[in-house]
Chains A and B, each alone.
Chain A
Amino acid sequence: MYAFAYHRPATARQAAGLLAKKEDAKLLAGGHTLLPTMKQRLASPAHLVDLGACADLKGIERKGRNLVIGAMSTHAEVAASPVVQEAIPGLAYLASHIGDPHVRHRGTIGGSVANNDPAADYPSACLALGATIVTNKRKIEADAFFTGLYETALEEGEIITKIAFPVASKAAYAKFRNPASRYALVGVFVAKRGSDVRVAVIGAGEGGVFRWSEGEAALKARFAPKSLDGVKASAKGINADMHADAEYRAHLIGVMAKEAVARAVGK
């Protein structure tokens, strides 16, 4: 790891000030993506702005129809939160299956969403639930937020402060884990709100998280696992690597979607 200057602001506002003032500054949240990257010298920021002391980025609350989660909430906090378990149990389940217990004690929702790893879990929940990513500057709809592999709509100096998830009537997540890394080989989040059905897929798309429109159409007719019988995801634009080829991953999309729907309807 190359040397850097360290800053520990007490509020998001102070953090934004530091980002604006310091050349080549990067935010540090749980550090479970950034520190390994810095150890490998793939990143070498001159300044690290640690969000760890920003109390205003913490907290989980139900606000009307939304579940609002502070960016610095750890995966373990989201998984164990009675508020999350009651509002969107599928989201608590998702958080409880990220990495391992130690990773969940440090890694944060803000860091995960900002990083937009194509195999990370949270982007699927944001997209399927139609979440709003709130920053120190504006509000961004999930549909416009995830723009490509490790790419987001975040601009220089922009900080995610919280994420607002509209509470769905039915929602669930199913993940086929890579047994070594625990990241998703394929993960599918399904959500139904009124007549709207959304199916978001991670781990599979060459461009990162995406909505599976054929699956959504089939589930709009009837929100039941059976509706997905015979509905095949295309292998076009699907990742292939040493762990699984595109055909296999495309097949898994259907299998995981079915499992998620079964969970969502309580079967």
Chain B
Amino acid sequence: MATVSMTVNGKAVTATVDPRTLLVQLLRENLRLTGTHVGCDTSQCGACVVHVDGKAVKSCTALAVSLDGASVTTIEGLATNGALHPMQEAFREHHGLQCGYCTPGMIMAAVDMVNRRGNDLDEKTIREDLDGNICRCTGYHNIVKAIAAGAEAMGGKVQVRQAAE
């Protein structure tokens, strides 16, 4: 067994795990954060995407012990004080989901996309950057719309926040 400590959604956690425990298992089974899904378990689908030190990664393809000391954000960590994150709000508004299985990974990938590429995302960029996220329901059209709108809304929010500070 090995001990691993990390920050998950702002809270310090320490767990004793078998070294082969994947990050997604630690999140779902030890911490009961079941918003992060396992779609394929073969590194293809992106349902398991979370942020590790601010970057989107597939949590089914990382050992928890490798991430000792890291800061992890899951879908549960996006909303603040009961208000949905602008990207979550955009997925709801634009009907960017049907069954919802891919949605947590899609939203975490979308926020990462904004972090890397800014708030003004065109359709081509969004579609290309969704290479690692598979949806079996929507046909992607509304996901792309939701991400473009969410990206824009995140810009607004950042400005408001900066102005308030």
Contact = CB atoms under 8 A, between A and B. Distances in A.
Interface stretch (A87-95, A100-108, A166-174, A192-200): A100-108
Interface in A1-60: 1-6, 8, 28, 31-32, 35-36, 39, 48, 50, 52
Dominant SS among interface residues on chain A: mixed
B28 interface: no
Interface string B55-67: 1111001110110
A3 B20 contact: yes
A56 B78 CA distance: 34
B63 A35 contact: yes
A241 B29 CA distance: 40
B132 A106 contact: no
B71 to A, nearest CB: 14
A31 B66 contact: yes
A4 B19 contact: yes
A103 B58 contact: yes
A223 to B, nearest CB: 30
Interface stretch (B5-13, B42-50, B83-91): B42-50
Given A101-B113, A105-B56, A35 B19 contact: no
A32 B52 CA distance: 15
Contacts of A32: 43, 61
Interface string B15-50: 000111010000000000000000001110010010
Q: Which of A76, A99, A105 has the most CB of B within 10 A?
A: A105
Contacts of A101: 56, 109, 112-113, 116, 129, 131-132
A139 interface: no
A1 B112 CA distance: 29
Dominant SS among interface residues on chain B: mixed
B137 interface: no
B122 interface: no
A65 to B, nearest CB: 31
Interface in B85-132: 109, 112-113, 116, 129, 131-132
B65 to A, nearest CB: 5
A51 B41 CA distance: 23
B61 A48 contact: no
A36 B20 CA distance: 12
B79 interface: no
A100 B49 CA distance: 12
Contacts of B131: 99-101, 182
B37 to A, nearest CB: 14
Contacts of A3: 18-20
Nearest to B21: A1
A99 B133 CA distance: 11
B61 A31 contact: yes
Contact of B57 (A6, A48, A102): A102
A105 B46 contact: no
A28 B66 contact: yes
B21 to A, nearest CB: 10
Nearest to B133: A100
Contact of B55 (A5, A48, A50, A105): A105
A102 B65 contact: no
B19 A102 contact: no
The 6 closest A-B pairs by CB, nearest first: A100-B132, A6-B19, A100-B131, A105-B55, A102-B132, A1-B20
17 contacts: A3-B18, A4-B20, A8-B65, A8-B66, A8-B68, A31-B63, A35-B22, A35-B43, A35-B61, A35-B62, A36-B43, A36-B61, A100-B46, A100-B133, A101-B116, A101-B129, A105-B55
Given A6-B63, A102-B109, 8 more contacts: A36-B42, A48-B63, A50-B65, A76-B55, A100-B129, A102-B49, A102-B58, A103-B132
Interface of A: 1-6, 8, 28, 31-32, 35-36, 39, 48, 50, 52, 76, 99-103, 105-106, 182
